[in-house]
Amino acid sequence: MAEITLNWRRFMIVFGVLCCMGIIARIIYISLVAVLINRLSPRTPRNGLQDIVKSWKEPDGSDAYRFPWPEDFSRDIVPEACHSHNDYWRKVPLYEALAAGCVSIEADIWLEGNDLLVGHVKKVLKSSRTLRTLYIDPIVNILSNRNVSNTSEPIKEVGIFETDPNAAVILMLDFKTDGHDLWPVVLSQLEPLRQKGWLTYFNGIDIVPGPITVVGTGNTPFDLVVANSTYRYLFFDAPLLDISNSSYTVQNSYYASTALKPAIGRIWLRGLSRGQVNAMKIQIKAAGAKGLKSRYWDTPAWPISLRDKAWNTLVENGVGMLNIDDLISATRWNWDRCVVAGLTLCGA
Ligand SMILES: *[C@@H]1O[C@H](CO)[C@@H](O)[C@H](O)[C@H]1NC(C)=O
Ligand SMILES: *[C@@H]1O[C@H](CO)[C@@H](O)[C@H](O)[C@H]1NC(C)=O
Ligand SMILES: *[C@@H]1O[C@H](CO)[C@@H](O)[C@H](O)[C@H]1NC(C)=O
Ligand SMILES: *[C@@H]1O[C@H](CO)[C@@H](O)[C@H](O)[C@H]1NC(C)=O
């Protein structure tokens, strides 16, 4: 009987010591991860755009959200060749992408009555979330407050981004309903931007750059894009896999895009194969030779290490624009430090 009690006590002591050690190890591990994240996390620059992102409110239906104009609007933001995929899904449309330095922004538009509603599927559309309230009005507000150089000024002195006055912002409109019905409404909504000379246009000979370039995708009707041979300010998102078609030129298109899988096949965990990289190089080059920017959507999102490998491969091979969902990981993190020793440190 005494022996059993002794064994039991020994067991309890060993168990207690092991538990303590486990707890200590856990605390050390958690603090190490916290230190790593803290050390490697990119700093958020302080500027007006960040303040707007913090205080932004949903448009109330009659007007774009207004805020006191910050003088340091885009201070220290370096514009980057990234495309904010389904931008309207973010907590703060437009401004979050600009604050990250992404120069391309995507909005899905639906013709409902006489207005253009923005959303991914028809069911979630709201009458207060329109192309005007979420994008056009805020862009007009930014360009007028910054006195941004328009198309008639060959040497641009002021742009949206303080660090690069020549950086244009691409507004990509994904036409969700019938393209021919949408077309006149889209053009009329772009009027405030066009009248001020803020839209990049084709004059029959050259592209005249402005602070905003509008690109149509989805049901955008190519026949209407090219209908006027001397004046265009809505450019096409050409199919990258059909880019040898002589119809697509820099005079009517801006992007040449494709989903990744049909372009190079399935991607496995170890990243892109040599054959896949070569195929991609040829596609990117073909778009570049026509003066178009290549863009791949549906690139791997998970696991993060694979996502970052794919991003690295695309950028190393000169992709025109990186299509992204996670703005902060894409623009501020050093991608090689996103995953350290199997730990994912940057946003999912
Ligand atoms: C923009 O121009 C207006 C009128 O010319 C001027 O009052 C304002 O200070 C300018 N703003 C900036 C940011 O230069
Ligand atoms: C473009 O900017 C110039 C110089 O600031 C100005 O004179 C001109 O009126 C502007 N054009 C338009 C269409 O607003
Ligand atoms: C093209 O656009 C210009 C400027 O709006 C206009 O004057 C011209 O008539 C248009 N041409 C055609 C063929 O529609
Ligand atoms: C080239 O593209 C145009 C415009 O989309 C299309 O109408 C035409 O059929 C295409 N040509 C070929 C050979 O695929």
**If the chain, 348 residues long, is cut into consecutive pieces of 10 residues, what is the mean pLDDT of each piece?**
76 93 92 81 84 88 72 92 91 94 96 95 90 95 94 93 94 98 98 98 97 98 98 98 98 97 90 93 97 94 83 91 79 70 68
76/195 same-domain check = yes
Residue 309: which H helix or E strand, with range? helix 304-316
Residue to probe by mutation, ligand 2, list 146, 148, 149, 150, most atoms within 8 Å of CB: 150
Indicate which ligand has the atom closest to the C-alpha of 232: 3
185/260 same-domain check = no
Q: Is residue 338 part of a domain?
A: no
**Nearest atom within ligand 1 for CA of residue 71:** 13
- Domain extent, residue 4, equals 1-40
CA 152 to centroid of ligand 2, rounded, Å: 6
Indicate which ligand has the atom closest to the C-alpha of 245: 4
127/260 same-domain check = no
196/211 same-domain check = yes
CA dist 234 → 79, 197, 285, 329 (Å): 22, 14, 24, 31
**Nearest atom within ligand 4 for CA of residue 239:** 5
CA distance from start to end of the chain: 57
Sequence-ordered list of residues with C-beta below 8 angstroms from that of 279, at least 6 positions apart, any chain: 263, 264
Predicted pLDDT of residue 61: 60
Report whether residue 63 contacts ligand 2, using a CB cutoff of 6 Å.
no
| d(C-alpha 328, C-alpha 320), whole Å | 19
Here the tokens at position 312 are 């690295």
Domain boundary among 182, 200, 232: 232
Q: Quote the longest CA-to-CA distance of the chain.
A: 103
